[in-house]
Amino acid sequence: MSARNPGMELDLEWVSKVRVNHQAVLKRAQQIQGRKLPKKQWQAAWHLRAVTCIDLTTLAGDDTPSNVHRLCLKAIQPVRQDLLESMGMHDKGITTAAVCVYPARVADAVKSLKAANSSIPVASVATGFPAGQTALKTRLEEVRMAVEDGASEIDIVINRTLALTGQWEALYQEIRQFREACGEAHMKTILAVGELGTFGNVYKASLVAMMAGSDFIKTSTGKETVNATYPVAIVMVRAIRDYFLRSGHKVGFKPAGGIRTAKDSLVWLTLMKEELGDEWLRPSLFRLGASSLLADIERQLYHYVTGRYAAYHELPMA
């Protein structure tokens, strides 16, 4: 992970002056989606880069210690060894960026990774995920418990009501408390952009979250009807750029929800490269929240190496 973002005093004047040109954002998103994507070995290299930025996630109601264990093994060896050997990448230590689970499963994930002698971090969604509608005291306690169980990254959800009603001071104070509860754990703040209404609100919520000390800002829980979209991402990464120019602190970005294909991952990497530069193309500042994306990337790599597509049973999750 990169250096922490210490945050700053809430600058309400900056927040109140925010204006977003809706049409310009949509046009820019179209441009990025229309870019020619890398081919052949360049594409394979970008796919491997995407793998190293994935927060491999399971957030199902029927999660068990055994499926969390399988997920951890997949995070450690995300691409089949023979494929990596064919590409000369078998000794590069390619793993996913993190394993992301519910707080109740953190201890299981930590135990599995420790047993495998892996240093992959465990991330946990906390604070009443996905709606964030439980009492503040309960949400703070959930963060502390996940950290105690060994989570080194916490994905918090904001109280959307505060953002929708423009209560930026209250939102700032709430996120500050979450940051304190995280202790040494890095904090990713989920804005649930599909529920924020306007690009202006998304930009303002991004700024407030960063001022309050978020190490990453994240688009969605993956449970809303609208999740990560390119226009919203452009608004968020421009807020990240403005915050960096004003404060000198780099904040990471994590799109999540609906990112399923290898091609999607290439568009996201292109967006980051063009908007924020190469420095943001690494797991310390960029994550892809996904559960099924890895399977499609591995299929594309299999095709690159063998010239044919694998059946899904040839590339099981673990």
Catalytic residues: 218, 254
Residue 150 near residue 106 (C-beta atoms within 8 A)? yes
The kind and range of the H/E element at 153 are strand 153-157
Residue 158 near residue 131 (C-beta atoms within 8 A)? no
- 241: exposed, middle or buried (Cβ count in 10 Å: 0-12, 13-18, 19+): middle
Nearest to 5 by CA among 187, 157, 277: 187
Biggest CA pair distance of the chain: 57
118: which 2 tokens? 């892996």
Side-chain-side CA neighbours of 282 within 13 Å: the count stands at 7
Alpha helices in 249-292 (DSSP H): 262-276
